[in-house]
Amino acid sequence: MKYTVRVALAAAVVLSANAGASDLLDARTAAIGGAGVAAGNHLSAPIHNPALVATYGAEDDFAIAFPAFALSLQDEADLLDGIDTFQEAHEQLKAGNPDPNLPQDWADSLIALDGQKANLKGAVGLFVALPNKYLSSNFFMAGQLNAYTRASVDENDITQLDPTNPVVNSYGEVFATAKTDIGIAFAKGIQLADHRIAFGFSPKFQQLHAYNYLVTIDNFDSNNYKNDENSVEDSFFNYDLGMIYEYGEHWRVALAGKDMISRNVISADHGFGGFEYKVERMTTLGTAYDHGRVLITADLDLESRKDIFGQEEKYLRTGVEWQAFRKAAIRAGYAHDLKDTHKDRFTLGLGINIHGPAYLDLVTSYDLDERYGAGIVMSAWF
């Protein structure tokens, strides 16, 4: 009996801000534009489509991905460093530093923060696939974090500055969402001549967190966003559904419904109004043509959902993978938001069998907001 173990030895994926957090755990799919509903595999199935659990190869008996870890940071204006710079100047001003340039440095460092934003995304996961001819399964644990930091400057802080007693009404804010899924994806395939149909079902325990941390910039500490007074949580059961239809050896059409039970959490208020974190059902149609050395795939969201700012998004994702060499695959992808909330995203990637069981997946991205990203995932199969 053959056992296959996939261990994600290191994973650090940095993508454009309009990439979903769950995409971070699958570098291959990220490189083909995020189109994984039909083109994913049985190990990453819980991310994309539970029916993919039944799409294992004849020699696959067992597979595990642990730990799968990813991180993305968008901070083009160095907001967090800028806050540190202002706080240092503020402490010196309060301490009575006699430097005549210090009040101007204080004001300049505060002005530089106005309207700036930073975005941190993270994901961690464990996937254990157990394929068999009766009922294939995949146990999974996956966590996602999507955090935004922003600064708002009160011009009175500058125009009415008293160097002997600086008063700060400008504020910094962290608003973040986190989601944890723990469940098992089941799938069963049925062969009918040249046709094959697979159905998938994934019950899961789900926990949602909404964080809202707001404080004047002189007292701002981004690590405090997780404090109890800034956090609201909710736990419940949810489920995903999926199906796949395959014709012959090359064509595949798939349909996936994620988070079939919608749920929302309202964040802490802090006197400025909270925000709503809503997990909404998302149904996606996917298709893939796999000719061995060439894979072409596309996904279309059939419903729209709202991002953390309440803006609607609905994506068309396309990608191609070319097994250009025996041990290397070239990948490219494109994602377009049909609601025009986010700019178009282009991706490029490379998959390499370094030596024996060692594999390396690389991905880069660029969107029309001129945001760049790059990432790397190393894995080993035994």
In terms of residue numbers, what domain contains 186? Answer: 6-381
Q: How confident is the model at residue 112 (pLDDT cuts 50, 70, 90)?
A: very high
Which residue's entry shows tokens 């804010």? Answer: 173
Residue 11 binned pLDDT confidence (cut-offs 50, 70, 90): very low
- pLDDT at residue 242 in the model: 98
Query: 232 in a domain, yes or no?
Result: yes
pLDDT of amino acid 23 = 63
What is residue 381's predicted lDDT score, i.e. its pLDDT?
A: 55
Q: How many CA atoms lie within 13 A of 343 on its CB side?
A: 11
> So what's the pLDDT on residue 14?
47
CATH number of the domain bearing residue 210: 2.40.160.40
Instruction: Please report whether residue 166 resides in a domain.
Output: yes
Any domain includes 201: yes
Percent of the chain with pLDDT over 70: 91
- Write the CA distances from 134 to 54, 64, 226, 339, integer angstroms: 10, 20, 44, 42
Over the stretch 265-274, which tens digit does the pLDDT of each residue have? 989 887 767 8
The CA distance from 48 to 37, in Å, is 5
- Provide the CB-side half-sphere exposure for 112 (13 A, CA): 18
Q: How confident is the model at residue 243, as a pLDDT?
A: 98
What pLDDT digit, counting tens, does each position of 22-64 carry?
Answer: 566 788 888 999 999 999 989 889 999 999 999 987 777 788 8
pLDDT given for residue 21 in this prediction: 54
Q: Are strands 136-152 and 305-306 parallel, antiparallel or unpaired?
A: unpaired
Backbone angles phi, psi at 355, to 5 degrees: -170, 125
Average pLDDT over residues 225-242: 94
Q: How many Cα atoms within 13 Å fall on the side-chain side of residue 270?
A: 22
Task: State the chain's mean pLDDT as an integer.
Answer: 87
Asked if residue 233 has pLDDT above 90, the reply is: yes
Number of domains in the chain: 1
In-domain check, residue 219 = yes
The residues pairing with 337 across neighbouring beta strands, listed in sequence order, are 315
The answer to whether position 180 is within a domain reads yes
- What is the model's pLDDT at position 373? 72
**Residue 16 scores a pLDDT above 80:** no
Length of the chain: 382
pLDDT value of position 336: 96
Report the pLDDT value the prediction gives residue 19, as an integer from 0 to 100. Answer: 55
Query: What pLDDT is attached to residue 185?
Result: 98
Question: For the residues 321-332, what does the mean pLDDT come to?
Answer: 94
Half-sphere exposure of 302 (CA within 13 A, CB side): 12
CA distance 117 to 147: 10
pLDDT band with cut points at 50, 70 and 90 for residue 316: very high
- As a whole number, mean pLDDT of residues 100-126 equals 90
Nearest to residue 207, comparing CAs of 249, 177, 228, 162?
Answer: 177
**Strands, E assignment, 230-314:** 231-247, 251-258, 263-266, 276-279, 282-290, 294-301, 305-306, 312-313
Q: Pairing between strand 63-74 and 117-130?
A: antiparallel
Is residue 380 pLDDT above 70, yes or no?
no
Structural domain includes residue 46? yes
pLDDT at 67: 67
- pLDDT tens digits, one per residue of 341-379: 988 999 999 999 888 767 788 888 888 776 777 777 766
Determine the pLDDT at residue 57.
78
pLDDT at residue 17, rounded to an integer? 44
Residue 1 located in a structural domain: no
**Residue 126: predicted pLDDT:** 87
Indicate if the pLDDT at residue 78 is higher than 70. yes
pLDDT, greater one: 2 or 281: 281
What is the model's pTM?
0.87
Residue whose C-alpha is closest to residue 153's, from 108, 97, 98, 92? 108
Q: Is residue 304 predicted with pLDDT exceeding 80?
A: yes
At 108 the three-state DSSP class reads helix
pLDDT surpasses 50 at 326: yes
Query: Which pLDDT does position 216 carry in this prediction?
Result: 94
Reduced to 3 states, what is the DSSP secondary structure of residue 181? strand
